[in-house]
Chains A and B, each alone.
Chain A
């Protein structure tokens, strides 16, 4: 036989999961949220976290750690470490952080999407994990699918051609 059925692992909102080659890992309908893929060039296990908010420190109700950029990324690094993948070998691909609704004459101090982008970049820099590809910002939603065997991230948007980063 020898034919393995590859699966697509789905990461929900404020959720994180690991994925082993040949499976793929996806999260559907990122808006202001950000999907962060962490992987190593030499390992067959990778992980994805779908964060919603920039920082757990600004908020009292922070028991769901995957909801925030800081704790979500930290937990994903820990999970990968348990699989024997050291932090120093990790790189990141990120997508999301859109501003979905644009209000006329709005005086918001940066949209939630923009604040998420800033925070994710800061957290990854603090862990010394380089961002090797990104598709962030703008005003449209994104579905992302990561293939750990090719290390390619497919970004799918409504009414647009797929982008591979």
Chain B
């Protein structure tokens, strides 16, 4: 896992490209806006480096997490800086928010959870279509808290097999304005192996 060849990295990048491309289209339609996606970056990170991608371990973020299982299993996260989460939920619900942590209520979380659901389902489904592997996604859950705390769930999952995380970082742009958030795919070595094999890349 630590020694991924550049070819395999390219494959993962392309998976990210297609997955996030489909996800962006789905979200653009839902929000009736002009969303674009930057070319995804595939990074191997130490656990402590992951929260740094989103403002540091104590930055408040909103994260939607979906688990999938079957021939490949793992989880996917859609993580947004709090300001972006408020923008996105505000666009959907036609409202504005105060700076108060509590002002982002149950309804807002529910709206954001649905955005995450659509994004990640289309991402994960496109991996399924490309690889012909069978797996199903579970209904997502949302958490608004410190980045370090939120990420402890995927990180402890990854910690069972290693000390690094492979992050497919897909950034979005809304009318050329970068949205500070990313999609993160968390899966195990065996699942990656199956994905590579399904795409005809030997080990």
Residues on A facing B (Cβ under 8 Å): 12-15, 28-33, 52-53, 59, 61, 63-64, 67, 98, 100-105, 112, 139-143, 158-159
Residues of B contacting A112 with CB < 8 Å?
153, 156-157
> Would you call A101 and B148 a contact (CB within 8 A)?
no
Docked-complex contact A141 and B159, CB < 8 angstroms: no
Return the CB mask of B161-185 against A: 1 if under 8 Å, else 0.
Answer: 1110000000000000000000000
Binds A, one of B13-21, B83-91, B137-145: B137-145
Tell me which residues across on chain B come within 8 A of A143, comparing CB atoms. Answer: 57-58, 146, 148
**Alpha-carbon distance A105/B155, docked complex (angstroms):** 23
With A101-B65, A112-B153 in contact, is A29–B143 under 8 Å at CB? Answer: no
Q: A101 to chain B: which residues have CB within 8 Å?
A: 65, 141-143, 153
Q: Nearest residue in B to A113 (C-beta to C-beta)?
A: B152
**Looking across the interface, which residue of chain A has its beta carbon closest to that of B59?**
A29
Confirm or deny: B150 has a beta carbon within 8 angstroms of a beta carbon on chain A: yes
Q: Please name all residues of chain B whose beta carbon is closer than 8 Å to the beta carbon of A61 when the two chains form the complex.
A: 160-163
Give Cα A144–Cα B65 distance, bound, in whole angstroms: 25
Closest 5 CB pairs of A and B: A29-B148, A141-B149, A31-B152, A159-B101, A31-B149
The one of B47, B152, B157, B160 in contact with A30, judged by C-beta atoms closer than 8 angstroms, is B152
Please name all residues of chain A whose beta carbon is closer than 8 Å to the beta carbon of B60 when the two chains form the complex.
158
A140 and B152 CA atoms in complex are apart in Å by 11
Interface residue B124 (Cβ < 8 Å from any Cβ of A) = no
Q: B155 and A158: CB pair below 8 A?
A: no
Q: Chain B's nearest CB lies how many Å from the CB of A51?
A: 10
Cross-chain contact A158 with B156 (CB below 8 angstroms): no
Does B26 have its Cβ within 8 Å of any Cβ on chain A?
Answer: no
Q: Do most interface residues of chain A lie in helix, strand or loop, or is the interface mixed?
A: loop
- Select one of A28, A53, A64, A105 contacting B156, CB under 8 A: A53
Chain B residue with minimal CB distance to A139? B143
Q: Which one of B58, B153, B155 has the greatest number of beta carbons of chain A within 10 Å?
A: B153
How many angstroms from the CA of A105 to the CA of B162 in the assembled complex? 29
Q: Complex Cα distance A29/B163, Å?
A: 18
CB distance from B93 to the nearest CB of A (A): 20
Partner of B163, one of A64, A104, A141, A159: A64
Q: Chain A contacts of B144 at CB under 8 A? A: 158
With A31-B145, A53-B156: A13-B58 Cβ-Cβ less than 8 Å: no
Pick the contact of A13: B48, B56, B102, B145 (CB < 8 A): B48
- On whether the beta carbons of A100 and B149 are closer than 8 Å, the reply is yes
Closest partner residue, chain A, to B139 (CB atom)? A104
Whether B51 sits at the interface, judged by CB under 8 Å, is yes
